[in-house]
Amino acid sequence: MAQADDSDDGMDEFMEKFKTQKYKNAFTESNWEEEFDKVPMFMKSAPEQIDPVKHPELACIQSIIHDDDRPPEEQAKSLKDEGNEYFKEKNYKKAIVAYTAGLKKNCSDSDLNAILYTNRAATHFHLGNMRSALNDATAAKKLKPDHIKAIIRGAQCCMELRNYAVALQWCDEGLRILPTEKKLQELRATADKQKRAADRDARKAKAKEKKERNERAVLLAAIKERGIRLLKPEQPQRRGSDSEDDGADVSAAAMAELHLDGLSTQEATGAQVYLDEQGVLHWPVLFLYPEYRQTDFISAFCENSSFIDHLVVMFGEELPPWDTDRKYYPQNLQLFFEDHEKGHVYEVDLEKSLLSILQHPGCSVKAGTPSFIVLVKESPFCKQFLSGKKVQRLK
Amino acid sequence: MLSDSEATELLSFLRRDMRADVKGQATEYILGLTGNREGCRYLRTKPDFLKALVTLTADPSIAIVKDCYHALVNLSADETLHKPLVKEAAILPTMFHNLLDPEYMFADRVSTILTNLSRHEATCREVFQALQEQEISLAKIVEIFCTEGFNKKASLHYLGPLLSNLTQLPEARQFILDKERCVIQRLLPYTQYEASVTRRGGVVGTLRNCCFDYAHHEWLLSDAVDILPFLLLPLAGPEELSEEENEGLPVDLQYLPEDKTREEDPDIRKMLIETLLLLTATKKGRQIMKEKNVYPIMREFHKWEKDLQVISACEKLVQVLIGDEPEPGMENLMEVNIPEGVEQKFKDLDAKEQEEIEKEKQELLKEEAEKHPNTVPEVLER
């Protein structure tokens, strides 16, 4: 038509114009990349939130996808695809949103729903939400019992949750459907191995506990046999069972049990009385020096040793730095133990063994650690300390 | 036995459309026949009766079905009946069909019949072939066997011995030992199945048969299958081992509780030891078993075992475990060529050993009888 000729001419003119005139609203060197990025077709990545004012075209496209009258199956499929895209980008939170929206469509395609559940399970798995992942895998399996991916995922979740017996069940279920599925076989072998290792660990712990209980019983029997009294601590106060305190209550009860036999040391020493292979007891013993508020701790005082043996070693060569008067020589020392209940103080015969002292009717061991007061004979502090107390001297 | 006309008449009573009381009496009579050898042999000549029995297993009356199955069990126990049952009475398709039915009340009877039929190689092969033809596959049998509560009305323990019998065929072993699948692994836990000695024995028998194929030994002993703990657990006891010995054992055998009991059936114990012995045939196998500290388990076992046959087997195993390695060229104990004279010597020694064991047994029994002069020793019916 006539136009053809015209446009030819028109084109030439148009082209001519370019050589002299700049196109209005043209992209410039500096802004062409930015402008391109705004055009949906050329965008490298979509903005997180689509502002309809800044990106009206994008907003349009989005509304086409989401607010539509298409049948639920199609909508669900689009949402599935959307979720998959987000998943590939590792945008797991958005993937879950998409899959969830897809499931909410409640479409009748159970295969699609099974896939949505399975994919959401995978997403949860990567986020570390094992329970949610397992729930989704279970739901997928319910919809489509032969969906191998769901079964594999379910087994993996159980493994992460350390529920090896159930993991095995999932694997066996899957292998029934696809006996040669390698991943399931591997999972099964691992689950089996872990389960058996866990069983062994439980048995080992039980054996250890039993051994410790036996040793404890033997120890307590030895102490009792010697006629040594262990002071039982007071029962801890029972608190009201607030849910907050429940945890504390449980551990308090456990500690109480430990203390009830009177053997746990409150001290941060970690030492405890023990029975050696020859059947001899060794006690942790505290020496108290009230004059200078000092203490000495013997971690293993053999019951057959005498006090003078230890004192000679402790004070024989060098006097302690806190002994400013230089008077704590072994021959000057007097030892006492206190019966706190009755308020009696008993002098200790230094030549006697620890065992015979502990067997003294007035002596009882507090917190598993016998303690003795060390004073210097005839010293002013000694006189002052003992005044007002009922003292049982050595005969 | 029956005259021809009597037989014909009886046969006519064994039809589904007959009156219940007539059917019932007829089947009862047949059952009576199967109770002894002459009756069985007679029925061998009358395949129509066998066919009728198989057909009547579908009868609506439970009492009749029960009698039919009872008769078929008896018949299948007699090897001479196998061919007629399988060929002429075509018993196998019906049996398989019923076995796979999770609701079938007589599935246990079916398993027993199939086990009986598969005892000897010839019919065993027929059974296996029928399995393939019916497109059932050994896989299904294993699956049913390993599915707890597959059939609420039947325990299916007899599938154990069935599997054991089937594995006398290399084709069956090939399936069980398939590395691409997970078959043998699913059977292993049943070596400790307390509720049924039949099931346990069947599984152990299966494992023993599979261990004849020494090409698979390394795989069996590897982590992929890990057969060793499952063979040792029934033989391990509550005795406390030192910490050092414990740590060297396979995981499942460490720190066993004080209430651990050993396998109570001496035949199964013997089979377990035989299986272990088979696994020592190759150099690699011996190496692995020595590494996994099998010896302390067998040491404690030897102290505990009373049955002479089992003790003898145990001693053979221990010999290999603590003995020196054989000379080069003789490392695979199953491939060694034993010169005829030597082989005969071994056979003689074995026979002598058996004699001695029998003698010891008799002496023990005599001692027992002398202690209790009034008890009559039990005669076991075959």
Residues of B in contact with A193 (CB under 8 A): 223
Residues A249, A389: one domain?
yes
Decide if pLDDT at B345 tops 80.
no
Instruction: Show residues of chain B in contact with A199, CB under 8 Å.
Output: 251-252
Tell me the CA distances in angstroms from A386 to A291, A342, A358, A390, one per residue in order: 12, 15, 21, 8
Domain boundary pick from A162, A197, A232: A197
Q: Is B28 in a helix, a strand, or coil? A: helix
Mean pLDDT for the stretch of residues B126-147: 88
Q: Which of A180, A197, A214 is the last residue before a domain boundary?
A: A197
Both A253 and A346 in a single domain? yes
Contact flag A185-B182 (C-beta cutoff 8 Å): yes
Q: Report chain B residues touching chain A, CB-CB < 8 A.
A: 139, 143, 146, 180-182, 185-186, 223-224, 229, 251-252, 254-257
**CB-based contact B254 A175, cutoff 8 Å:** no
A277 and A159 in a common domain? no
Q: What is the pLDDT of residues A193-249, one digit of tens each?
A: 999 999 999 999 998 999 899 989 999 999 999 999 888 765 555 554 444 444 444
Contacts of B180 in chain A (CB under 8 A): 179-180
**Residue at A41 is within a domain:** no
Asked if the model's pLDDT at residue A106 lies above 60, the reply is: yes
| Closest residue on chain B to A195 (Cα) | B252
pLDDT above 70 covers what percent of chain A? 83
pLDDT tens sequence across A34-62: 777 777 777 777 676 777 777 777 777 66
B186 contact residues in A (CB cutoff 8 A):
172
Q: Residue A179 is nearest to which of B181, B252, B256, comparing CB atoms?
A: B181
Tokens of B122: 């010839």
Residue B374 has pLDDT above 60, yes or no: no
Residues A287 and A361 in one domain: yes
Cβ contact B182–A197 (<8 Å): no
d(CA B83, CA B88): 8
By the 8 A CB rule, do B123 and B131 touch?
no
Tell me the mean pLDDT in the region A7-13: 69
> What is the residue-averaged pLDDT of chain A?
83
Q: How far is CA B217 from CA B276, B292, B296, in A?
A: 11, 15, 22
Asked whether residue A253 falls in the same domain as residue A388, the answer is yes
Q: How many structural domains comprise chain A?
A: 2
Q: Chain B closest CA to A82's CA: distance in Å?
A: 37
Please report the pLDDT score of residue A240 as a whole number.
47
One domain for residues A294 and A193: no
Looking at residue A28, what is its pLDDT? 75
Contacts for A9 with CB less than 8 Å, ≥ 6 apart: none
Q: Of B6-20, B46-60, B356-370, where does mean pLDDT reach its minimum?
A: B356-370
- Pick from A226, A219, A217: which is nearest to A353 by CA? A226
The answer to whether A248 faces chain B, any CB pair under 8 Å, is no
Interface test with A, best of B138, B184, B251, B259 (most A CBs within 10 A): B251
> Which range marks the domain in which residue A307 is found?
243-393
pLDDT for the residue numbered B373? 54
Residue A215 located in a structural domain: no
| Domain identity same for A103 and A170 | yes
pLDDT tens-place string over residues A303-354:
999 999 999 998 888 899 999 889 999 989 999 998 877 878 999 999 999 9
Q: What is the mean pLDDT of residues B336-360?
A: 75
What are B173-204's pLDDT values in tens digits?
999 999 988 899 999 999 999 999 999 999 99
Q: Is residue B361 over pLDDT 90?
A: no
pLDDT of residue B5: 85
- Give the model's pLDDT for residue B371: 63
Nearest in space to A76 (alpha carbons), one of A86, A65, A87, A85 = A65
Residue B104's pLDDT band (cuts 50, 70, 90): very high
* Same domain as A183, residue A269: no
Q: Is residue A216 part of a domain?
A: no
Inter-chain CB proximity B255 and A204 less than 8 Å: yes
Enter the pTM of the model.
0.71
Written as one letter, the residue type at A71 is: P
Whether residue A344 is contained in a domain is answered as yes
Interface contacts (A, B; CB < 8 Å): 41
Cβ separation of A192 and B182 shorter than 8 Å?
A: no
> What integer is the mean pLDDT of B43-71?
90
Which CATH number is A104's domain given?
1.25.40.10
Residues in chain A with CB shorter than 8 Å from the CB of B223 are 189, 193
Contact B252 A180 (CB under 8 A): no
> Does the pLDDT of residue A258 top 60, yes or no?
no
Cα B309 to chain center, whole Å? 18
What is the separation of C-alpha A316 from the centre of its chain, rounded to a whole number of angstroms? 50
In a domain, A45, yes or no: no
Nearest to B180 among A180, A189, A200 (CB): A180
Residues 120-179 of chain A with CB under 8 A from chain B are 172, 175-176, 179
Rounded CA gap, B309 and B339, in Å? Answer: 27
Q: Which residue has the higher pLDDT, A263 or B234?
A: B234
Domain assignment of residue A219, yes or no: no
Q: What is the pLDDT of residues A166-193, one digit of tens each?
A: 999 999 999 989 988 999 999 999 999 9
Mean pLDDT of chain B, nearest integer = 88
Q: Which residues of A touch B229 (CB under 8 A)?
A: 196
- Give the whole-angstrom CA distance, residue A261 versus residue B127: 69
State residue A393 phi and psi, 5-degree precision: -80, 165
A190 and A314 both lie in a single domain: no
Instruction: Give the CATH number of the domain where residue A324 resides.
Output: 3.10.20.90
Out of B180, B224, B254, name the one closest to residue A200 (CB).
B254
Give B381's pLDDT tier (boundaries 50, 70, 90): very low
- Range from B4-8, B24-28, B146-150, B228-232 carrying the lowest mean pLDDT: B4-8
B380 pLDDT more than 50? no
- Note the ipTM here: 0.70
Percent of chain B with pLDDT over 90: 53
| Domain termination site, one of A139, A167, A197 | A197
Top residue of A171, A172, A187 to mutate, by most chain B CBs within 10 Å, is: A172
Contact (Cβ atoms closer than 8 angstroms) between residue B363 and residue B369 = no
Same-domain status, A188 and A272:
no
